[in-house]
């Protein structure tokens, strides 16, 4: 003990010990700073968990506190592989690198597709659709009428003696916009909804201002899958604002027997502005048709009158019995 005190009592020894203690303190401070700014890596690499846990043979390494935690061992999904590109710029599957622009159908292609679209068939077959019962009263017949669409052209202008066509098409399955494009004749196209029976009569009348052919009601059976069509040839006879009347009548049957009573389900007034001829050809055509009409009038009127005059002249030329001389 006295040796230790004698060692510490020396001033030189105390300086050495102080220097050693200061150096040791400096080392501790430097090590603490190094560990603070450069912490050790937690994961030692693939297959090595925290705390030096190493997994092998497809195992999973987990380190740290895993108490009351869920461990998902499913592998992460791999990103999709891009198909290899051939030197020609197309994919190996035969698809082009840049997809083509989608085809936009023209109006003619849409009309053709609508014309040839197959009818809608029940998935249970046609035999699964029951036929409606035959009506026995007028009220039952009216209730049995079904909805349909009709499209027709309305020429707003015409010329005297220049013939034009009025066309009407009826369908029980086509939508208005689909039926409208099927009208082939010029003029404004109109679409309307009406009630129809199995047989319909369409009439286009023009009064004294138009010659309409065919005239009178035109009866047709109504198709369930296709369209039913009517066409009229119309020739204006009077100038100015004239009217055509388009009507549709449903023909009903009671107790299986057709009743000629018609039920009007549609009526539309078509206004046509009829103008005078503008060209020499139109004037000649009008004069020709007017002459044909006048010739029929003259033939109808003059033949009876001419026959009466001829008979009167023959009677005048025949000698009367009272004027004959008496021979004695």
Q: What is the pLDDT of residue 66?
A: 59
**Average of per-residue pLDDT values in the chain:** 74
Q: Which pLDDT tens digit goes with each residue over 257-268?
A: 655 677 899 999
CATH superfamily of 133-275: Immunoglobulins (2.60.40.10)
Q: Which pLDDT tens digit goes with each residue over 201-233?
A: 999 999 999 999 999 999 999 999 899 999 999
pTM of the shown model: 0.50
Query: In this structure, are residues 286 and 168 in contact, taking their beta carbons and an 8 Å threshold?
Result: no
- Can you tell me the distance from the alpha carbon of 145 to that of 67, in angstroms, rounded to the nearest whole number? 77
Alpha-helical (H) ranges within 100-250 are: 107-115, 138-144, 176-180
Q: Which pLDDT tens digit goes with each residue over 162-200?
A: 999 999 999 999 999 999 999 999 999 999 999 999 999
Closest CA to 262 of 245, 271, 275, 249: 249
Q: What is the pLDDT of residue 142?
A: 84
Structure tokens at 72: 């998902």
Structure tokens at 109: 């292609």
Structure tokens at 318: 């025949």
Q: Which pLDDT tens digit goes with each residue over 7-52?
A: 667 778 778 888 888 888 888 878 887 777 776 655 444 444 455 5
For 75, list phi and psi in degrees, rounded to 5: -70, 145
Relative to beta strand 164-171, strand 257-275 is: unpaired
Query: In this structure, are residues 174 and 151 in contact, taking their beta carbons and an 8 Å threshold?
Result: no
């Amino acid at each position: 003990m006295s040796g230790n005190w004698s060692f510490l009592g020396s001033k030189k020894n105390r300086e050495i010990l102080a220097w050693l203690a200061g150096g040791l303190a400096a080392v501790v401070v430097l090590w603490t700073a190094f560990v603070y700014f450069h912490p050790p890596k937690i994961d030692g690499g693939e297959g090595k968990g925290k705390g030096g846990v190493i997994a092998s043979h497809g195992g999973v390494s987990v380190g740290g506190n895993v108490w009351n935690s869920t461990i998902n061992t499913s592998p992460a999904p791999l990103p999709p592989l891009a198909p290899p590109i051939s030197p020609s710029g197309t994919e190996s599957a035969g698809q082009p690198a840049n997809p083509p622009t989608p085809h936009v159908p023209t109006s003619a292609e849409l009309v053709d597709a609508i014309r040839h679209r197959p009818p809608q068939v029940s998935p249970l077959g046609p035999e699964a659709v029951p036929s409606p019962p035959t009506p026995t009263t007028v009220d039952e017949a009216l209730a049995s009428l079904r909805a349909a669409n009709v499209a027709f052209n309305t020429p707003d202008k015409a010329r005297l003696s220049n013939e034009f066509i009025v066309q009407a098409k009826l369908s029980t399955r086509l939508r208005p916009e689909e039926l409208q494009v099927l009208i082939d004749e010029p003029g404004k196209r109109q679409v309307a909804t009406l009630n129809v029976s199995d047989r319909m009569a369409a009439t286009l009348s023009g009064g004294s201002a138009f010659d309409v052919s065919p005239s009178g009601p035109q009866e047709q059976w109504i198709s369930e899958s296709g369209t039913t069509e009517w066409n009229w040839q119309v020739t204006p006879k009077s100038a100015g604002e004239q009217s055509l009347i388009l009507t549709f009548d449903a023909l009903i049957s009671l107790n299986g027997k057709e009743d000629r009573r018609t039920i009007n389900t549609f009526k539309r007034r078509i206004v046509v502005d009829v103008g005078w001829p503008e060209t020499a050809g139109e004037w000649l055509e009008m004069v020709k048709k007017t002459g044909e009409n006048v010739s029929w009038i003259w033939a109808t009127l003059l033949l009876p009158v001419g026959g009466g005059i001829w008979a009167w002249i023959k009677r005048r030329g025949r000698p009367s019995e009272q004027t004959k001389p008496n021979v004695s």
